[in-house]
Amino acid sequence: MIAEIGAFAAALALALSLAQGIFGLRASRRDSRAEATAAIAQAAAALCVIAFACLIAVFVQSDFSVAVVAANSHVDKPLIYKIAGAWGNHEGSMLLWCTVSALFGAILASTRGGQDLGLWSRTVGVQGLVTAGALIYTLFMSPPFARLDPAPMIGSGLNPLLQDPALVAHPPLLYLGYVGLSVPFSLAIAALISGRADQAWARALRPWTLAAWTFLTIGIAIGSYWAYYELGWGGWWFWDPVENASFMPWLVAAALVHSAIVTERRGSLASWTILLAILGFGLAILGTFLVRSGVLTSVHAFAVDPTRGIAMLVLLFVALTIGFGMYAWRAPKLAQPSGFAAVSRESMLVWNNFGLAIAAGVVLIGTLYPLIVEAAGGGLISVGPPFFNATVAPLLGVLFLLLPLGPMLTWRVGDMRAALKKLAPAAALAVLTLVAALALSQWRAVPAIGLGLGVWLIAGGLIYVWTRVQRGEGRLAAKLALLPLAVWSMSLAHIGAGVLTIGAIAETSFRSERAVALRPGEGVAFAGGRVTLLEVGQIEGPNYSANRANFRVDLPGSSRLLSAERRFFPTSPMPTTEVGILGRIDGDLYVALGDAVRDTPGAWSIRLYHNPLVYLIFLGALMMALGGVLSLIALGRRRKVMA
């Protein structure tokens, strides 16, 4: 019964979303229609929430007569994973996509602010069509509430790799980010229809872009950390197609966050901002397609379903055709921007956008290239980390080299010499780091440059905060308290990029690893300490059994216990690893338990890793996300002041 209610609610939501689209697009001249549009958008969102709640309910009940539950859940699963199982599969995650899109439509509908009525109702209308497109795809190509007859007794279980707290947060956050980019898309299309993209429009765009970017940042960071501790080899980024699929919209969203500032503050770059908004959503759909279709070999191969890929491509094609078509037709009619000099805040933001867009383009080409070669009859090739590290990393390096200059320059016409003078201490510190790293690493250039850049970003960000503090009056505490939130948010995000850079470079360039075979009682020297295997025992989890190894790690002056597991799920042929991680200031000591060694009785194969400063990667990402959150708060405050 619950499943039927869900299916009915989803179908009704589709009808209402279509109505939202039609009313919204035609509401420009009549207030009553605009009001109706808003009410419809809210009803559609409520129905989507009901449908998704029904899906969670059938998962919690373990109602195996519903096909999705039977294929992805199991009676023995802990409750939290039954709930998360609702979005840990194709159908459920698509319904989540629709629900988020409808919710954003409802929020759009209830926050008109100072926007032009026509522009606003068209935005709500386009968002309704986006939701409708996603619902059509979901209900017809991957119905989440389809029944099974006869119903199985226990269900086949979730992929054990997915049974992890990160499953609860990682997919929904990424979807909030992906779908969040549908709102800038709707705003862009509405602006093209209306023939105007003014500063009020950019003001409406900014919070949505920031929110989408922040969600993507947190979602990607959690996914990266998940891979780091779950896959058992300490990898946190592998330029895997699906990682790239989330990185491309992230890069474009980052560009959009910056270009929207220029459009709002100065009225320039409006047409470029619109193009980015269209591209961002296109890449978000492409991302969903790459994850869901499995056309590319990837660690996310658990989500594959090639038959549905075509329909997803059709959606992508429709969205991009409408987007680019409207852009080509209407963008030339937008108002001409006001000017700026070659040295100014605007021009630095143009270079920022240039770098981020080029990086996104290179990632896109690299990700899709194997498909192109295969389609052209060139056979199977791989485009992996060696390509991306050699191309995207230097591009981002150049971007980071310019980054600290941006905030130091004023709008319209800036003074480069004064900016460079203020940043001189940061540059000196960066060069010092570079030289020291060169000397200490036996003249390895890449890590030295990377560390130097990281220091440059951090020191440059701090100097910017300091120059802003100096402008205030009174005691230091008073000056700090008076500093606008926007200064903190921007600096935090930029410094976070520096922190992440240092972590990433330290981890990739200076990690050490060792594979050993140990019998209980034996130890091995590693990373300045000694790791001893104490014992290996059998334990029983709620729906798995595991080998559990206990270790003692002796470090100068301290001794710590650590355990690692290898879990066997009856529902899956592949065991999973639960690594032991000892976090220290210099980085993580990371221990993974393997199989019993074939030819040495009683010995276990064990891998030890030392990942220097790896925590800075996740700390940096968190700082960037926090910068996004603070910036959202700052925008909210300003809106209140203006209202």
Partner 1 sequence: MNVAALLIALVAPAVLADPAEEARARSLDAEIRCVQCENEPIAQSTADIAVDMRRLVRERIAAGDSDAEIRAYFRDRYGDFVLFRPPWDARTWALWLAPVGLPAVGLFVIFAGRRRGSAAALTPEESER
**What is the contact surface with partner 1 in residues (CB under 8 A)?**
231-233, 235, 238, 240, 268, 297-299, 301, 336-342, 350, 354, 357-358, 361-362, 365-366, 369, 373, 376, 378-387, 391-392, 394-395, 412-413, 415, 513, 515, 594-595
DSSP for 151-186 reads: PPSS-----GGG-SHHHHHHHHHHHHHHHHTHHHHH
Q: How far is the CB of 243 from partner 1 (least distance, A)?
A: 11
Closest CA to 133 of 327, 316, 323, 8: 316
Compare residues 143 and 385 and give the one whose CB is closer to partner 1. 385
132 within 8 A of 189, measured Cβ to Cβ: no
- Which residues, other chains included, contact 457 with Cβ-Cβ below 8 Å and sequence gap of 6+? 400, 403, 404, 494, 495, 497, 498, 501
Compare residues 209 and 367 and give the one whose CB is closer to partner 1. 367
- Separation of first and last alpha carbons in the chain: 47
Q: How far is the CB of 361 from partner 1 (least distance, A)?
A: 5
Angle at 535 between CA 532 and CA 541, to 5 degrees: 125
Compare residues 395 and 613 and give the one whose CB is closer to partner 1. 395
Alpha-carbon distance of 17 to 124, in angstroms, equals 10
Q: How far is the CB of 394 from partner 1 (least distance, A)?
A: 8
Q: How far is the CB of 170 from partner 1 (least distance, A)?
A: 17
For 363, the token pair is 């990632």
Closest CA to 256 of 161, 175, 312, 188: 188
Compare residues 248 and 492 and give the one whose CB is closer to partner 1. 248
Q: How far is the CB of 266 from partner 1 (least distance, A)?
A: 11
Owner of token pair 């492409």:
286
Q: How far is the CB of 429 from partner 1 (least distance, A)?
A: 29
551: number of Cβ within 10 Å: 23
For 119, the token pair is 């522009």
Query: 385-402 and 485-510 helices cross at what angle (nearest 10)?
Result: 140
Alpha-carbon distance of 473 to 437, in angstroms, equals 40
Compare residues 318 and 381 and give the one whose CB is closer to partner 1. 381
Closest CA to 102 of 163, 14, 28: 14
Compare residues 391 and 532 and give the one whose CB is closer to partner 1. 391
Query: 2-26 and 117-136 helices cross at what angle (nearest 10)?
Result: 150
Question: Alpha-carbon Rg of the chain, whole angstroms?
Answer: 26
Compare residues 74 and 300 and give the one whose CB is closer to partner 1. 300
Alpha carbon 39 to its chain centroid, in Å, reads 31
Compare residues 310 and 515 and give the one whose CB is closer to partner 1. 515
Q: How far is the CB of 298 from partner 1 (least distance, A)?
A: 6
559: number of Cβ within 10 Å: 11
Q: How far is the CB of 306 from partner 1 (least distance, A)?
A: 16
- Residues linked to residue 554 through DSSP beta bridges, in sequence order: 530, 559
Compare residues 78 and 386 and give the one whose CB is closer to partner 1. 386
Compare residues 118 and 384 and give the one whose CB is closer to partner 1. 384
Closest CA to 58 of 4, 136, 138: 4
Q: How far is the CB of 420 from partner 1 (least distance, A)?
A: 16
Compare residues 195 and 378 and give the one whose CB is closer to partner 1. 378
Indicate the SS3 state at residue 493. helix
Q: How far is the CB of 285 from partner 1 (least distance, A)?
A: 22
Alpha-carbon distance of 12 to 18, in angstroms, equals 10
Compare residues 341 and 436 and give the one whose CB is closer to partner 1. 341
Q: How far is the CB of 380 from partner 1 (least distance, A)?
A: 4
Compare residues 208 and 238 and give the one whose CB is closer to partner 1. 238
Owner of token pair 């279709």:
293
DSSP for 120-150 reads: HHHHHHHHHHHHHHHHHIIIIIS-TT-B-SS
Owner of token pair 């960037």:
624
Query: 241-266 and 270-293 helices cross at what angle (nearest 10)?
Result: 160
Q: How far is the CB of 234 from partner 1 (least distance, A)?
A: 8
Compare residues 400 and 488 and give the one whose CB is closer to partner 1. 400
Q: Dihedrals φ, ψ of 217, to 5°? A: -60, -50
Q: How far is the CB of 223 from partner 1 (least distance, A)?
A: 14
Alpha-carbon distance of 419 to 407, in angstroms, equals 9
Q: How far is the CB of 363 from partner 1 (least distance, A)?
A: 10
